Structure formats: structure tokens, C-alpha cells
Amino acid sequence: MDQGNKGGFRLKWPWNWVACGVFVVGAGYLIGYLWSALLAALFLWWQKKRHPDEAPEGGYCLDRTRKRLARLLWSLLYLLLAAGCGVVFFMGFGEEKEELMDWAVWLVSGGGFAVFMVCFVIETWMDLRDAFFPARSRLAKSIRSQLPYPDEAPPVEELFAMVDRDIQENGQWFDRVAIGREWVLGDDVSSIARVRGVFARDEIKSRYINGRYQSARIIELYIVDDRRQIQSTGLRKPAELQAAVSCLRLRAPEAHFDGYARIARFVDRTEEDWQAMERDFQRRRNERLAREEEREHPRGSYTPAPPKPGVPRQDIGKIWEEAKKKE
């Protein structure tokens, strides 16, 4: 279906990561780790480019949970920061502090050590949990939260297969978000039937630190479901965010679409308002489904009446030949 899928060689999970890891370590000695890591990333990108439509090994959901491993870099950063703070804190543990500044440095480093250690532990735990225990992952939890009875959810393999199947058959990708007919797969999963609000966030946040401004662009898609739960996914390209919203407008036309600034007002409405919104939503959806039902599954059935037997066309040539024979 695609111009992509140019075929050819492709390393599948986990061999692609194993090969890249070995390459990074091996080539790191020769050309430096930064360059070898860049080359490995380039290789992975090239593989993806050549097989854009191919489902990842194990499915889209499992691939998403596995990718949490990459976030271990954040854990490493937290660990380094905790180590730095810890060195300062523990070295100052037995020292005599004469000035207020000494106390302040000691206390801040202690606090930093504690905070970064907690961050390290939580991040590591979440990343390892998602990657190696997908049943407990954020993704699996979000899928369960979309089911009618989350407590009676089937095993995670079935949950993931359910979403994967829809994405494989009907999914349209917008950066990190895939929108199928029934599911939206991002950092969380949303059931399209439950989508009540879609909020796009494209903001540039600036802050003043150490005498200079730092800016960051936040591009996120927020989906609010009928249980007022919020599922969010970060994206990298603003145009993709707009396209994803456009696609959701087609797939969930009755949902409320707005900017991120209004999400709180949407979610925090009173129970009475929420019920009124829900009733209106259901009414409009039923009307649309009825129209589609009429088109796709006709009421009743049609059996053509047997046509009145007409006089068959006469082969006059044959009649003429037979008349000639009679002579």
C-alpha cells in the first residue's frame, strides 16, 4: 500500500538493539562513543525508513513499552546528579559548619541527593517495569482503564493484540500517535468510542535561568474520556499534532475539540453539566450511527419478484430455414 517498505535487509528486535549496543561499544573505542552512538541511531533510522509500514516485532504496544528502556538515560542522569549531591552531602556530614552558607550547601546537597535518588529509583523502576513487565506498564493500565470492566481485563497479550490489530489494519500515524478505527495509541491508549474531549497543546515555555532565557516548545495531545480520565502523548512536530487532531475529528466527530488551556474547565465541570454533555454526545452519536447503520446494514431485505415471463426472442432465421426444408 505504501511507497515505503522498500524491502531488503532488516534487523528485528531485539537483534537490532543488540547489534547497535555491540557496535556502540566496539566502535566507541575507535571513533568515540558519541560518534558510534550517532551512527547506531542513523542505522536504526534507516531501517525504519526502509520499512515504514512494517509492524514492529511483538506489536506496536510492546514496542512502545520497550522503548521505555531508552529513558534509562534519564535514570542515569538522575543517578549522576544524586551522586554529585551525595558526595557533597556525605563529605560535609562530619565537618564543622561555621557559616550559614556551609549549612545551606550541606542541606541543599542532602535534599538534592534525596530527590534525585527518588527520581532515579522511580524512573528506573518505571522503565524496567514497562520494558520487562508489560502487564504492569502505563500502556497496559491505560488500555484496562478504557474497558467496561477494568478489573476483569484479559491478559496483557490480548489487550495489546486488540490495539495492535486495529492499528495494523486501520491505523494512521502522526509522529508518535497512531489513530485506528477503535483505538488511539500514544503514550497512553484511548478508546475512540470513549473520547469526549480532544485538546491540543502547542506552547512555547520560556524561563529565565542563570542570566539567560531558555525556551522549550511543548507539543502534546490530550484526550479526555467519558470517565474524565486524561490520556496524553508528547509529539515532536506541531504539524503532526494538527493532523492528528484533524484525524480525530473524523473518527470521533461528536467529541469536544479545543485548546489545552480549556482542558481543566472541561474536566472540572459539575456532574450535572457532565451528564448533560454526555446526553448530548450520545444523541448526536446515535444519529450518526443510525445514518451509517442505514447505509451499511439495511433494514429488512429485498427479494426481487420473479419477472413476468416474456415471449423469448424468436430466431426467425431458424423458422425460415425449417419452412424451406418442408418444401
Partner 1 sequence: MGKYFSDVVDSAIEAIYYSYDQERAAAVLQPLAEAANNGDGDAAYILSRCTSGPQYSWDYHPFQADNDVTEQLIRKSITLGSAMGVLGAMRCGMLTPEMEEAMKAHYPSLREVWNAVYEKAQAGCLFAMNMIGNTYFWLDIVRIENKSLEDFPSKAAFGQWLRENELKCLPWFERAFEGGMGFAGRNMYNLYYDGEEGVMEPDKSKAEAIARLGAEKGYPDWQERYAGFLLEREGRAQEALELYFAAAKQGQLSSWYYIGKTFHEGKLVPKDCAQAMKCYELGLQDPGQIGCANRAGELLFNGKDGIPQDYARAVQLFEQAHSQKNTWGNDMLGTCYLFGYGCAKDPARALMLFQEVDYSTNLLNYGLGTIYTEGLGVPQDIKKGVEYFQKCKNYTPAQEALLKFKKTLFGKWVRR
Binding site for partner 1 (CB under 8 A): 1-4, 52, 172-174, 239-240, 243, 246-247, 250, 294-296, 298-302, 304-305, 307-308, 310-317, 319-320, 322-324, 326-327
User: Residue 273 or 322: which CB sits closer to partner 1?
Assistant: 322
Q: Strands 195-209 and 189-191, how do they pair?
A: unpaired
AA identity, residue 270: T
Q: Which residue, 24 or 245, is less far from partner 1 as judged by CB?
A: 245
User: Based on CB atoms, which residue is closest to partner 1, 149 or 302?
Assistant: 302
Describe the crossing of helices 138-146 and 100-132 by its angle, rounded to 10 degrees: 60
Of the pair 265, 295, the CB lying nearest partner 1 is at 295
Task: Yes or no: say if 139 and 131 are a contact pair by the CB < 8 Å rule.
Answer: no
> Least Å distance between CB 177 and partner 1?
12
CB closer to partner 1 out of 205 and 295: 295
Judged by beta carbon, residue 269 or residue 285, the one nearer partner 1 is 285
Which residues are bridge partners to 190 per DSSP? 184
Residue 209 or 311: the one with the smaller Cβ distance to partner 1 is 311
Contact criterion met (CB below 8 Å) for 123 and 79: no
Smallest gap, in angstroms, from Cβ of residue 6 to partner 1? 13
CB of 170 to partner 1, least distance (A): 10
Give me the least distance between CB of 228 and partner 1, in Å please.
28
Residues 6+ apart with CB under 8 A from 322: none
CA distance 269 to 279: 15
Q: Which three cell numbers stand for residue 226?
A: 467519558
Distance of closest approach, residue 194 Cβ to partner 1, in angstroms:
20
Provide, rounded to whole angstroms, the least separation between the CB of residue 238 and partner 1. 12
Distance in Å, CB of 18 to partner 1, minimum: 30
Contact 40, 11 (CB under 8 A): no
Q: Which is nearer to partner 1, 212 or 318 (CB)?
A: 318
Smallest separation, CB 244 to partner 1 (Å):
9
Taking the C-alpha atoms of residue 174 and residue 168, their distance in angstroms, rounded to an integer, is 14
Q: Identify whether the C-beta of residue 24 lies closer than 8 Å to the C-beta of residue 42.
A: no
Q: Where are the alpha helices (DSSP H) in 32-155?
A: 33-50, 60-66, 72-91, 100-132, 138-146
Minimum separation from the CB atom of position 289 to partner 1 (A):
14
Considering the complex, state which of residue 30 and residue 311 has its C-beta at the smaller distance from partner 1. Answer: 311
**Nearest-angstrom CA–CA distance, 42 and 36:** 10
Q: With CA atoms as reference, report the closest residue to 74 among 144, 121, 6.
A: 121
Q: Is residue 8 exposed (0-12), middle (13-18) or buried (19+ Cβ within 10 Å)?
A: exposed
Report how far residue 126's alpha carbon sits from residue 133's, in angstroms, rounded to the nearest whole number: 10
The answer to whether 167 and 185 have CB atoms below 8 angstroms apart is: yes
